[in-house]
Amino acid sequence: MKNKFTLAAMLLVAVCLTNCKKDNPVAEENLTPNNDGLVMAASGVPVHSVTTIAGSPYTSGQTLVNANGKNARFNNPFGIQLMADGTIYVADTDNKIIRVVSPTADVTSLNIPNHDLTDPSFWLKGPKYFGMDDNGAVYIIDYNPDYPHDRALAYKKDGSILGGTWSDFYDMKDIVKDPFGNAFYSTFGNQLKRITMKQSNTSFYDNNIDFTNYFLPDDPGYYTFPAIFMGNNGVIYFVYKGKLYKRSKDGSGAPIFPNLTFNDVTCIMANKDSRTLYIADKGYIRRIDNGKLTTITGPNTTYNDSRDGIGIRADVYAKYMALSKDESTIYFSDPNADAIRKIVLR
């Protein structure tokens, strides 16, 4: 049975998380200094340099601190959205709030929902994913301990509630901006959704995408696709039980890179021409080029201290990623470091 709260119609949104049975042997890209010198990026730092932008591992004191850079404090940051001006919005899950990281690393809190305008039942319980559309309306997927599955909520620019939806049976995962319009893509169970909203008349549209899943290896049942991405080529990429699939523009679907298996995918994205995919998998940032899987960075089994560094010399646990417009940098949330970090690609 599906429950809804709405002012005019309804909303739907989603999230990313999956487990698989075995790990892949993958090549690790180790760009540490050697006798040949470093590979330098255009910014003047070594390629694959990991830098913490804001936040730091918790030691004591408050978990929610608005400040600059590493003086700020997060508590289990998860979903992020990178805006055109370089601002990063963060779903700060255990602080139950949305945070804003400016291009100069000043961290503030977003007044959405506005508690003065919104009933307490629609205050955030544990935001996981965040999306802001071109009109300033906000979509959030929120963990609510009173329900077995996450709920999706939408707010006007002033922070007042517009509506939401949730289910007794299906999870909602991921919020991905449509590159072709003022909308988002999400997953709800084994369905793919395109979500739009009009603040002027408080209308929601959550349309099922024409999609058949006959090509999946089994009946998905209540399984929710944990990660989704809409490429500039019109292809929707998603994950099912550790494998990658695509939904083409004509509505057909197919597995991609069937020889690759992932363990715990929390985010997937592609570059502009969709020839390179990036995967956040069990804390690692992986890359697929022409079917070849490599590890860019990830957990450091020797030094588990959230250190910055180059490639696999850093200690990273990536949950959610965003690619810069010029494709030179990946920004990502790291709940182990309680931080927002970046890695330079070129």
The pLDDT value given to residue 311: 96
- Mean pLDDT, the chain, rounded, equals 87
243-247 and 253-256 strand pairing: antiparallel
Facing residues of 108 across strands? 100
DSSP 63-79: S-B--BGGGSB-SSEEE
- Report, at the CATH architecture level, how domain 2-344 is classified: 6 Propeller (2.120)
pLDDT at 343 over 90: yes
Residue that the structure tokens 């999400």 belong to = 186
| Average pLDDT of the segment spanning 219-229 | 90
The pLDDT value given to residue 202: 66
The pLDDT value given to residue 10: 33
The pLDDT value given to residue 113: 96
Q: Which tokens belong to 294?
A: 């490599």
CA–CA gap between residue 13 and residue 183 (Å, rounded): 11
CA–CA gap between residue 33 and residue 281 (Å, rounded): 26
**Helix/strand/coil for 71:** helix
CA–CA gap between residue 117 and residue 5 (Å, rounded): 16
Q: What is the pLDDT of residues 31-74, one digit of tens each?
A: 444 333 568 888 789 999 999 999 999 999 999 999 999 999 99
**What φ, ψ does residue 95 adopt, rounded to 5°?**
-85, -5
Nearest to 317 by CA among 345, 343, 281: 281
Peptide bond into 77 cis (omega under 30): no
Tell me the longest C-alpha to C-alpha distance in the chain: 65
Reported as a pLDDT band with limits 50, 70 and 90, residue 306 is very high
Residue 234: left (phi > 0), alpha (psi -120 to 50), or beta? left
Facing residues of 167 across strands? 2
pTM of the complete model beyond 0.95: no
pLDDT at 293 over 50: yes
| Average pLDDT of the segment spanning 224-230 | 93
CA torsion, ordered 45, 50, 54, 59, to nearest 10 deg:
-130
Q: What is the pLDDT of residues 6-32, one digit of tens each?
A: 433 333 333 333 333 333 434 545 444
DSSP tag of 93: G
pLDDT at 98 over 70: yes
